[in-house]
Structure 1
Amino acid sequence: MPPEVCYRAWTAPLRVARRRSHHPGPDAQRTHTINLSGPDGRDLSVYCYSSELLLRGDALIVQPHINPTTGDTLCWNGEASFPMYPQISIRENDGARLFAALGALPDPALIPTILGKVEGPYALAYFHNGSRRLFFGRDPLGRRSLLMHAPTKQAPYFFLSSASAGERVGYEVAELDTHCFYELDLGALLGATDFICVQRRTGSHCLQAIPARVNRTLPSESERPFVTSLDEIPPQLSSAVDGLISRLDRSVRLRIENIPKNVSLDKGQLAVLFSGGIDSTVITFLAHRHVPLDEPIDLLNVAFENPRKIQVKRQGNVGGMPKRERRALMIAEKDNLAANRSDQEADYLVPDRETGLQQVEELRRLCPERQWNFVEINVPFAEAQVAREEVEAFMWPRRTVMDLSLAMALFFAARGVGQVRDNTSHPYQPYKSPAKVLLNGLGSDELLGGYGRHRAAYKTGGWQGVVDELQLEIDRIPSRNMGRDDRVISSHGKETRHPFLSLDVVAFLAGLPVNFKMDPRLDVGLGDKMLLRLAARKLGLLEASIRKKRAMQFGSHSARMENGTPNAGGELLLK
């Protein structure tokens, strides 16, 4: 097996960092040093640092997990379940449970077997003192960040971290691959005079919790679409609709039932990244089923000020705004005046704000007993510019224009500082969401064919092209969004959870025939994410079921922050 990373045996420390929050803490911090000695007086130090966000178990667990008897150490950043231990309680700490399971193994060769059975988002580094080996990796979908610096002569140390401080001369980090676990033999490193390899631990024994493959059964080209409207579920799709609702409902429940309750707060314990689109609305509605009715749910809706549009509104079309953009502005302003909205409100009436306001009203009609805090997070252009350098550091080593657009939206949404009001006749009140857990609808477009590129794939390659594109979507989820999003959101001491990316939901949707999930022959707003639209309609979410896809960076206008004009070339590298 070819080496993945080589480590020259320079006498330098090995460092492991679990998570360094934007504000240190927030619940506990600890540093632990492991000193190892080798022949000829050579020694090596392993520095472990953790900044703990407590979201599992009744008692505060200070990390790293340390066994004073064996010397084993675990840095754990995750929210996981263990199929081999179905009796695990939501009152237990998952990291402590995993640490105990690893410590009970008779042979360190079995460690990857245990790790391969963990389900859920995680990144970890586990030092087994008896064998002097360090095992590390992240979950198969990459939902938690883990960065690695491979030693160079200029920076002769090995470094793992869940967080990023941006581009630095002292090291160069890369996101860790998710297809395997890694192993570093520190004992061999102490006695080496040349290169020591970080080994990939692969094979069926340690790759059990992996995403399912897409069903490659192709419908006949002559087969007519199942769906003509969302008003009626065709018999062929009835079981699939029920299956999606039940699995997604369970996924939401598992991701919110263990949130520690703070009895001193009368505010929400849970928040949703809420655009008003079908994805965020469905998981919000399902969360309502499992959150006590006396607890509010915060709906975080972010909007960025666009100075060019404000200039046009106040001074005319200076510089020649494109006709389509000017027309949209005129319509929005007309609607604002009709609703007696203030100038400041109009400045932030971006597409996601409009759909969010519409959708929260549907939720209030369907669930009148719930207090829905629609948190309007308005980001002035100047404030976004000030935050840019910090956000770029958190998202590093991701560094494209699109990465920045998405990261900016997530950064301000996760901060949760905005304003709320009960209805349009009441004045706004300042509000900061205290929720540490944020639900995110990411994953539905990849699994259910919600992007325009799925239609393009059908045009060029038929159903086979769509199937190939859906498989590609699953394969690249870890490398596209997840690590970056985790680093940005956790900078506020918060955690995002993705109900659509439960391996159970992924397996169910991947296993369905492609034409059960989407049909690119149908109109946008019907054929894209067709199965989810039918499920939303069955849940009573009539308005959400017909809402069309809009990317977060365009819906919030975070993609329009470069000199106040739309960014071209989202894959371009930042300067």
Structure 2
Amino acid sequence: MCGIFFSARLNDAPGASIFEEISQKLQNANSTRGPDSQGLYRASVACAPDSPSPTTPHAFSLEFYASELRLRGDRIIVQPHEKDGDVLCWNGEIFDGMEISPQENDGVCLFDKLRTLETPEQIRDLFGSIEGPYAFIYYQANSRRLLFSRDPLGRRSLLIHKPSQVAPYLLLASVSAGVDSRYEFEELPTNHIYCLTFSHAHLNFQEVFNSYLISLPRLSSFPDAPTTPFAEPSQVNTILPPHEYIPQIESLGEVPEYLVKTVDDLIYHLDQSVMLRVRDIPQRSHVPIAEPIDLLNVAFENPRKIKLEAEGNTGGLSKKQKKARSKAGPSVEQPSVSYNVPDRITGLQEVEELRRLCPDRVWNFVEINVPYEESQGARQTVESLMSPGRTVMDLVRQSLAIALYFASRGVGQIRSSPGADPEPYTSGARVLLNGLGSDELLGGYGRHRTAYNTGGWQAVIDELQLEIDRIPTRNLGRDDRVISSHGKETRHPFLSLTVLEYLAKLPVHYKMDPRLEIGFGDKMLLRLAAWKLGLIGASQRKKRAMQFGSHSARMGGERRGDAILE
């Protein structure tokens, strides 16, 4: 995980001191993502004049900054990567498509490969041949081209401020420094590789940007183009189940014959995906048995929930009953704070299942308890990290942001055995595995059942395709910014493009069956695989969003989802 930042401005543009302040502010914001090393590289690019006889030649001032979290290779690397004027700021991991030994750094290998390429199309095709989460900024000195993009699923954050009349500079950054009138960031779309050529220096940088920026589609239109298996997410299999198809599963413990190989294949693909995401972390192999695994479990003190539990649900009371209760005044006995939230209860149950299956492994169940005042004190920081998301919907409806913030910080307590007194503990893990993607790919949401009830299997297929199409514009960039603020990196085994392709190509009725009960038919294939691996309890649990399971949702009461955060 790295923090990357780039800026470009005309040398003779006004406001140099203000721009320097903005640049430093954004460098500081991106430095927390990479605690191991930080680096800065500056370049000046003289360009053709915008008039036949200019008084002074115009030039662009370019600035490249990167902070590094070392997760690959046998030594710490200082970014940006630079040689002969070529510069790469790399925030990503290459898990497939390029041979990289455990001793090598993927950013170094990628930079070496990029320097052998000449055209933007060749560079586009290179990125279409590698799999992994990434965001990059690459400057090619001889052509004066700047190329930048995110991976097709948007698993890494990259924000852009486009030059404007009032803010005439280009900014690219992993994370902003919160709301500031001097820039207006937006998430960079994932469906193109962007290329800006610094060929002419008009006095108006906005015109330069609009005239010389090209957007390369991820896939080449030429028939003889090289193979790029990771250029775009796969499309969903559109074949409908046989008309006479009826549910053939009576128990998760009995895999029907037609799904035996599919269950085994899913286990294989997920095992490979996890292996690729953990094996080359420095000084670690594919999770040796002697290495503990931290299970981060976050619970919030939510006054609204505590009051509801103490007083009961007043929504069903009559006006007379509410008035009587109000006259009686508050209870003298204050309700006690309990962190026994739904996710804590099921988490404790599941860790015992894991200990039973792998008794030689140390499983650290990290109880991360967040008092109300502490969560409110972190709100401004979290909102800044979420930026450019600025609505209550970002923080409340998807209250994952604040839950992920405290979970990734990893400060909590562990117990040596069930019932033992807790001991303070801070997780030192730098890589966090996240299960995001399973619901989207395997039909785990209630809307998939609704789709079937309203439009049959075809509606389910259409909804599953929409799920894949929406992944790049959902919350991955936001989650990346929040989690990485603690110098941690999140990795998504289900969102490997290889796993995605495998699941997308399966017939819909192999993955789910909305005719079966909740907790059985939703994510049916995954539940069968979990049962086969011995995760009996986990295989039968119903879906519950983290913000509700941890009680991070609606701590401040009801607010409109599109209201702007103050």
TM-score under structure 1 normalisation?
0.84
The answer to whether the Cα contact below 8 Å between 2:120 and 2:195 also exists between their aligned partners in 1 is no
The 2-side partners of 1:455 and 1:559 are apart by 24
In structure 2, how many angstroms separate the alpha carbons of the residues matched to 1:321 and 1:221?
Answer: 46
Sort the Cα spacing of 1:545 and 1:138 in 2 relative to 1 into closer, same or farther, 3 A. same
CA contact (8 A) 1:20 1:50 kept: no
| Residue type of the alignment partner of 1:292 | P
Q: Tell me what 1:58 maps to.
A: 74
Match of 1:349 in 2: 340
Q: State the 1:400 CA deviation.
A: 3.3
Q: Hey, what's the Cα distance between the residues in 1 that align with 2:560 and 2:290?
A: 46
Task: Give the Cα–Cα distance (whole angstroms) in 2 for the partners of residues 369 and 189 of structure 1.
Answer: 65
Is 2:295 aligned against 1:295? no
Deviation at residue 312 of structure 1 after TM alignment: 5.6
Letter in 1 for 2:219: S
Unaligned runs of 5+ in 1: 1-6, 262-268, 270-288, 324-342
**Are 1:251 and 1:502, in contact at CA under 8 Å, matched by a contact in 2?**
yes
| Residues 14-163 of structure 1 mapped to structure 2, 5 A cutoff | 20-21=29-30, 23=32, 25-38=34-47, 39=49, 40=54, 41-67=57-83, 70-83=84-97, 85=98, 87-107=99-119, 109-163=121-175
Question: 1:280 — aligned with what?
Answer: none
Aligned mates of 1:96, 1:200 — CA distance in 2: 26
Distance 1:302 1:44 in 2: 47
SS in structure 1 of the partner of residue 369 of structure 2: strand
Structure 2, unaligned runs of 5 or more: 1-7, 318-334
Contact 2:297 2:368 in 1 (8 A): yes
How far 1:320 sits from its partner (Å)? Answer: 2.8
User: Is 1:198 paired with 2:213?
Assistant: yes
Alignment coverage as a number of residue pairs:
514
2:264 alignment counterpart: 242
Q: Output the CA distance in 2 between the equivalents of 1:82 and 1:191.
A: 44
What is the CA distance between 1:25 and its match in structure 2? 4.4
Q: Please say which of residues 211-220 and 421-430 is displaced more in the overlay.
A: 421-430
Mapped partners of 2:129, 2:487: distance in 1: 27
Letter in 2 for 1:73: V
- SS at the partner of 1:187? coil
State the Cα distance separating 1:116 from its structure 2 match.
2.0
Deviation at 1:423, TM superposition (A): 1.5
**CA drift at 1:9:** 7.5
1:540-563, Cα deviation, whole Å (9 max, x unpaired): 11111001000111111111311x
Q: Counterparts of 1:411 and 1:9 in 2: how far apart (Å)?
A: 38
Alignment of 1:461-480 (within 5 A): 461-480=455-474
1:407 and 2:401 are equivalent in the alignment: yes
In 2, Cα distance between equivalents of 1:129 and 1:19: 27
Residues 107 and 137 (structure 1 numbering): CA distance in 2 closer, same or farther, change over 3 Å? closer
Q: Which residue of 1 aligns with 2:329?
A: none
2-structure distance, mates of 1:90, 1:28 = 20
Please give the per-residue CA displacement for 1:376-423, whole angstroms capped at 9, x wherever unaligned.
001111111110011001011123334211100000000000000022
Paired-residue identity, %: 56
Compared CA separation, residues 105 and 467, structure 1 to 2 (3 A): same
Q: What displacement does 1:22 show?
A: 6.7
Higher radius of gyration, 1 or 2:
2
Contact 1:65 1:73 in 2 (8 A): yes
530-539 vs 191-200, which moves further: 191-200
Given the superposition, is the C-alpha separation of residues 22 and 386 from structure 1 closer, same or farther in structure 2, using an over 3 Å criterion? farther
Deviation, structure 1 residue 132: 0.1
| Paired residues for 1:6-17 under 5 Å | 11-12=12-13
Partner of 1:126, secondary structure, is strand
Q: How far does residue 257 in structure 1 lie from its aligned partner after superposition?
A: 0.5
Contact 1:138 1:144 in 2 (8 A): yes
Q: Distance in 2 between matches of 1:149 and 1:291?
A: 40
> Is the aligned partner of 1:308 residue 2:304?
yes
Name the CA distance, whole Å, in 2 between partners of 1:322 and 1:58: 63
In the superposition, the TM-score normalised over structure 2's length comes to 0.86
Shift of 1:293: 1.3
Partner in structure 2 of residue 390 of structure 1: 381
What is the CA–CA distance in structure 2 between the aligned matches of 1:568 and 1:351, rounded to whole Å? 24
